[in-house]
């Protein structure tokens, strides 16, 4: 098997060595480690990068099997760590896999002393979890450009070029002036330096190339040896008299002969029947299926002339007539067409066309039904004409002992649910407020999950409620008996905990989707139950804070802590677009626009900002701004942010209900900005009025809130008649965490706060 590596012509043979050596080494045992080491290192300097990937993957597999001792693992890591900045992505990912495997097998002391020292020069920041591939990939330095890498490998002497670059770096010579500053170099080297400077060579790239000097030198030596072997073998072939046909400029002379006449006609007089019944025409030589697929070829002359030219027995003529009569899909000849030609359509083709037409009709019917359902779903949420929340407090609920993290409406009825950091999920009924119960209490309580419940969503098709906790558990509880119907436990080290959840039903699947703190968006099929699909957002774009599903369930948008809005296509499971906030502020909540199909509404950290983005054009169309700072300012943001967000459709257009860290609830009218107002102030705020206006800033429509001076309080000497003691302010005393709107038994706005209170407004 070792001789496979000597073949410099067939890369597949060298590739098969590294894929097959794993099983052989597992059979032999750890005694072959010293023999395999030089062979694996030889694979690192192979001219084909696919062979390099196979060699690194072989190292990873052999390390997982425990065939390499500790000193040999560190030695392999010394040779492979410079490849963390290789231009090839597959090579970088393979080296990251090797580093994570070695870090997971070695003790923590060896990891910090041996692995960190070898890997840290290629990372942008110190890293503790070297056993996680995702963390290593997110901290890697930018790779060397492919142009610079190929130019160095193809140069005459890599060591000389790197020495010149290092000398220029010590002498502080600019890279652009380097070819003219060094007078002792030859002309080809000077041209190479100019080409490297034009390819984007920087001082940081020079440092990376110096770290890869040993690998580049071995690779160049290997390429020169391979080219020498290939040139010598080519000379031997020429000396032996071997001629390559591909190198001949003239085409190979051939002789051909047409068996049929040029006009495609066959003279029936030249065909004779044998005693056993020969074939009179090519049409009779084909069976019925071939005739149906390819048709028949007859003489273009008149029928009388064709009958005279053919000498056919009555039996044969009857057979030909029956064969022509049984052709499926045959069409009668039209007047004016050429006589003697039959236009046929294969039965399989006609069946395919009819099937395609049927499927098109079914698809159009499904599209019509889906659009009708979407329209009906939005119309059922329409409030009565002229409805606007007035800020009248209907109920104050305080059963939760911790922060209320999420509110969700259950279907189109009167029930809604809340989850809290105290580990409980409570179901409430709005009819209890309508019937004026003496004590407003929750209808159901579920407290068997533990931890802090951060995410909550109703599963409408299964009449259940799904909740996610910080301990990594997901519980699906039936609403009729509040019993556990399904559960899932996530791996805390690999997956983390859930930050947001949604549910949708595709007909064949009831999918519960959830996003984890490590950047995974997973679809869990409750009917299987199993993972239906998984999207990896990655930590490079920040931690997922919220995400929203589009109405047709074909795409979703995830907001991150770094200000990214990542759009995923759920049909192909691919990211299709990304929008980044200009200030890089964190996205706190994401929701879909009720009318604009491609718009996303997101609450941004700071300045009480709410922006509306078009994921199709990747542009910002509108911004809601409730801050004393100038609109869309980029520096020193206002501390208050929107946390609770509800986007709805009114009789006049779309509106937004927003509450956040200032404990105030605002109503934003997107069609008439001047009609926006403050629904309820915070309990500790001084009552004052605000005005709202619309302006265009940098091509974006901005609705700005301007606070007016509060009304002057009466002086101590003035007598103000009072009927009784002052009523406590109805507003929240802490951060508003969520906002929803209920339709039954009347239109109510429900808000929750971090102090555990839930308030219902009319």
List 425's β-bridge partners, or say none: 419, 446
Query: How many residues does this entry show for the chain?
Result: 762
Span 128-137, mean pLDDT? 87
DSSP state of 673: G
Instruction: Tell me the CA distances in angstroms from 217 to 45, 204, 254, 408, one per residue in order.
Output: 9, 20, 51, 63
- Tell me which H or E stretch contains 644: strand 642-649
Report the interhelical angle of 49-64 vs 70-80 (nearest 10°).
Answer: 160
pLDDT at site 384: 75
Res 609 pLDDT > 90: yes
Q: What is the token pair recorded at 135?
A: 């963390």
Res 319 pLDDT > 60: no
For residue 375, name the pLDDT band (cuts at 50, 70, 90): low
For residue 177, name the pLDDT band (cuts at 50, 70, 90): low
Q: What is the token pair recorded at 197?
A: 């400077």
Question: What predicted TM-score, i.e. pTM, was given to this entire model?
Answer: 0.59
Instruction: Give the residue extent of every domain in the chain.
Output: 2-219, 393-709+730-761
Strand pairing class (619-625; 700-707) = parallel
Q: Which SS3 state, helix, strand or coil, does residue 477 take?
A: strand
The overall average pLDDT reported for the chain is 80
DSSP state of 221: H
Q: What is the token pair recorded at 47?
A: 């001219």
pLDDT tens digits, residue range 542-600? 899 999 998 888 899 999 999 999 999 998 999 999 999 999 999 999 999 988 888 99
Residues 6+ apart with CB under 8 A from 449: 423, 425, 467, 469, 471, 473, 475
- Cβ atoms of residues 533 and 573 within 8 Å: yes
pLDDT tens digits, residue range 404-447? 999 999 988 889 999 999 999 999 998 877 766 556 788 899 99
Q: What is the token pair recorded at 413?
A: 């009825």
pLDDT tens digits, residue range 13-56? 888 889 898 999 888 888 888 889 989 988 888 888 999 999 99
Res 200 pLDDT > 90: no
Percent of the chain with pLDDT over 90: 38
pLDDT at site 330: 43
Provide CATH code, domain 2-219.
1.25.10
- Output b/e per residue, 99-110; b: 16+ Cβ within 10 A: bbbbbebbeeeb
CATH class of 393-709+730-761: mainly beta
pLDDT at site 316: 45
Of 381, 393, 437, 417, nearest in space to 760 by CA: 393
Please calculate the CA angle 368-374-379 and round it to the nearest 5 degrees: 125
pLDDT at site 166: 73
Question: How many of the other CB atoms lie within 10 Å of CB of 628?
Answer: 9
Whole-angstrom distance, CA of residue 42 vs CA of residue 143? 23
Res 604 pLDDT > 80: yes
Beta sheet of 415-420, edge-to-edge order? 404-409, 415-420, 425-429, 444-446
pLDDT at site 257: 61
pLDDT at site 436: 61
């Amino acid at each position: 098997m070792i001789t496979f590596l000597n073949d410099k012509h067939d890369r597949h043979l060298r590739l098969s060595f590294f894929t097959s050596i794993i099983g052989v080494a597992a059979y032999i045992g750890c005694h072959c480690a010293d023999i395999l080491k030089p062979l694996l290192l030889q694979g690192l300097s192979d001219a084909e990068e696919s062979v390099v990937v196979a060699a690194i993957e072989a190292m990873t597999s052999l390390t997982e099997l425990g065939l390499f001792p500790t000193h040999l693992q560190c030695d392999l890591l010394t040779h492979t760590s410079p490849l963390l900045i290789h231009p090839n992505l597959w090579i970088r990912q393979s080296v990251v896999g090797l580093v994570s495997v070695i870090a997971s097998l070695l003790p923590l002391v060896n990891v910090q002393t041996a692995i960190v020292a070898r890997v840290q020069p290629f990372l942008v920041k110190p890293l503790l979890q070297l056993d996680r591939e995702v963390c290593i990939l997110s901290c890697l330095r930018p790779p060397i450009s492919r142009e610079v890498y190929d130019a160095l490998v193809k140069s005459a002497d890599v060591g000389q070029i790197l020495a010149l670059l290092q000398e220029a770096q010590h002498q502080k010579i600019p890279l652009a002036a380097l070819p003219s500053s060094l007078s002792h170099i030859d002309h080809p080297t000077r041209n190479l330096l100019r080409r490297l400077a034009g390819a984007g060579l920087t001082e940081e790239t020079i440092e990376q190339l110096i770290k890869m000097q040993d690998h580049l030198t071995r690779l160049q030596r290997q390429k020169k040896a391979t080219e020498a072997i290939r040139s010598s073998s080519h000379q031997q072939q020429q000396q032996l008299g071997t001629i390559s046909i591909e190198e001949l400029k003239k085409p190979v002379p051939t002789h051909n002969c047409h068996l049929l006449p040029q006009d495609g006609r066959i003279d029936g007089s030249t065909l004779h029947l044998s005693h056993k019944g020969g074939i009179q025409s090519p049409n009779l030589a084909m069976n019925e299926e071939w005739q149906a697929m390819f048709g028949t070829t007859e003489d273009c002359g008149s029928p009388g002339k064709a009958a005279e030219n053919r000498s056919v027995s009555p039996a044969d003529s009857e057979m030909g007539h029956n064969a022509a009569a049984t052709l499926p899909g045959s069409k009668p000849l039209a007047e004016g067409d050429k006589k003697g030609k039959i236009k046929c359509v294969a039965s399989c083709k006609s069946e395919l066309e009819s099937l395609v037409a049927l499927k098109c009709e079914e698809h159009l019917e499904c599209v019509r039904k889906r659009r009708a359902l979407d329209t009906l779903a939005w119309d059922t949420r329409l409030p009565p004409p002229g409805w606007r929340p007035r800020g009248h407090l209907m109920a104050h609920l305080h059963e939760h002992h911790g922060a209320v993290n999420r509110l969700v409406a259950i279907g189109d009825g009167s029930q809604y649910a809340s989850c809290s950091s105290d580990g409980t999920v409570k179901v409430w009924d709005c009819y209890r407020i309508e019937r004026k119960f003496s004590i407003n209490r929750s209808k159901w309580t579920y407290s068997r999950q533990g931890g802090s419940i951060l995410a909550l969503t109703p599963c409408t098709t299964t009449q259940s409620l799904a909740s996610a906790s910080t301990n990594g558990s997901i519980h699906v509880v039936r609403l009729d008996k509040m019993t556990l119907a399904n559960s899932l436990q996530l791996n805390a080290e690999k997956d983390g905990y859930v930050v947001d959840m949604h549910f949708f039903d595709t007909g064949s699947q009831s999918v519960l989707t959830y996003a984890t703190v490590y950047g995974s968006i997973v679809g869990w099929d409750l009917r299987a139950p199993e993972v239906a699909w998984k999207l990896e957002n990655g930590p490079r774009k920040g931690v997922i804070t919220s995400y929203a599903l589009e109405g047709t369930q074909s795409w979703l948008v995830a907001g991150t802590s770094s200000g990214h809005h990542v759009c995923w296509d759920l049909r192909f499971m691919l990211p299709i677009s990304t929008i980044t906030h200009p200030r890089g502020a964190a996205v706190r909540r994401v929701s879909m626009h009720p009318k604009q199909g491609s718009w996303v509404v997101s609450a941004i950290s700071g300045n009480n900002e709410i922006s509306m983005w078009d994921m199709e054009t990747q542009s910002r169309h509108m911004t809601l701004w409730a801050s004393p700072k100038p609109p869309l300012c980029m520096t020193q943001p206002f501390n208050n942010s929107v946390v609770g967000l509800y986007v709805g459709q009114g009789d006049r257009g779309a509106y937004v209900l927003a509450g956040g860290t200032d404990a105030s609830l605002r109503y934003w009218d997107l069609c008439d900005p001047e009609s926006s107002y403050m629904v309820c102030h915070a309990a500790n705020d001084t009552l004052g009025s605000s005005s709202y206006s619309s302006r265009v800033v940098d091509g974006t429509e901005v609705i700005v809130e301007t606070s007016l001076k509060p009304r002057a309080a009466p002086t101590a000497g003035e007598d103000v008649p009072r009927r009784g003691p002052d009523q406590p302010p109805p507003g929240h005393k802490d951060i508003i965490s969520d906002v929803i709107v209920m339709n039954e038994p009347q239109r109510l706005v429900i808000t929750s706060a971090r102090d555990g209170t839930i308030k219902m407004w009319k």
